[in-house]
Chain A
């Protein structure tokens, strides 16, 4: 049985391409294509679908406005040409974020996430001096010594480096098993930090380059053990 989906996209060539990808997958049945939020809402509030392919910027209301007004919540895959929306995407718990134009392979990866728990396939490498993260449709190398800390954002995590932030579909729990444990330590259910980057610790918080990070009671003793306190 196929998943049902709807495409909400104002650019015809992008909608056609997406429909073609759906057809090629053999997994999806496209129930409709709408070029604006109002028409899409009208359909979606009368018909339930499994998956919503959703552009963000369209005439009138945005894709996020549609999600705010929807009476139920299908799996959502955002399709946009602006990577800046990745920061909003996590708030709406979207399954994936496809930057237009995307390859069919990237489309398949998005479909895989519909059935794969968050983060299961999103990180490669473990106890080396670097990791690769999937971000914005590509694998990005981050050296351990560039990473200041990793912060949970629901089904996403934010890797904060000295000059950049990267958001990827993953969880702190999953990362805890995969990052180099000599360099990184979990200090809170929402934070893994680079132990070499701590500037100071005060009570139940630590500071890394001006970022205040909570340290939970459960992890505080482990953190202190790892510091070279003289």
Chain B
């Protein structure tokens, strides 16, 4: 969001779609750091909502919780994870009970947890980069 002329100096983890990130924020690394920070600050609450809804067999809340967290991943350059969330949201719509989603649920919580670790790692790298170079 900083201007038209920018250079891609920071090297993101290959799992992060850096082109996608730059399309949103250009090379405003400080703002990208803020985005990652905000995401991490709210991640556990949203993640726990998913777990609570699943464990209480509340499919409507499960669908709502996954819907809420879904775009988060787009904002941090993980559009594929956003798409995986969309698929799980669709599966919640079709399922009759939490048991119908046992395998898919295990996969999605694993994906979300791994994504959080990745976001946290990138956040720390960005923070260091920004403090050293900006």
Contacts and interface: CB of A to CB of B under 8 A. Distances in A.
11 contacts: A11-B71, A11-B72, A12-B41, A13-B38, A14-B71, A20-B31, A59-B64, A81-B82, A81-B86, A100-B74, A104-B24
A57 B70 CA distance: 12
Tell me whether chain B's interface is mostly helix, strand or loop, or mixed: helix
B72 A17 contact: no
B39 to A, nearest CB: 5
B1 interface: yes
A82 interface: yes
Interface string B1-37: 1000000000000000000000110000001001100
Given A10-B68, A11-B71, A57-B64, A104 B1 contact: yes
B105 interface: no
Contacts of A14: 71, 75
A138 to B, nearest CB: 12
A16 interface: yes
Interface in B54-98: 64, 67-72, 74-75, 82, 86
Given A11-B68, A57-B68, A81-B71, A20 B24 contact: no
Given A20-B31, A81-B70, A103-B23, A12 B75 contact: no
Which 8 residue pairs across A and B have the least CB separation, nearest first?
Answer: A100-B71, A101-B74, A81-B71, A13-B38, A101-B75, A13-B75, A12-B42, A13-B39
A24 interface: yes
Contacts of A100: 71, 74-75
Contacts of B74: 81, 100-101
Interface of A: 10-14, 16-17, 20-21, 24, 57, 59, 81-82, 100-101, 103-104
Given A13-B42, A13-B72, A81-B70, A20 B1 contact: yes
Contacts of A57: 64, 67-68
A186 to B, nearest CB: 38
Contacts of B41: 12
Contacts of B71: 11, 14, 81, 100-101
Contacts of B82: 81
Given A59-B64, A100-B71, A101-B74, 13 more contacts: A10-B68, A11-B71, A13-B72, A16-B35, A16-B38, A20-B31, A57-B67, A57-B68, A81-B67, A81-B74, A100-B75, A101-B24, A103-B23
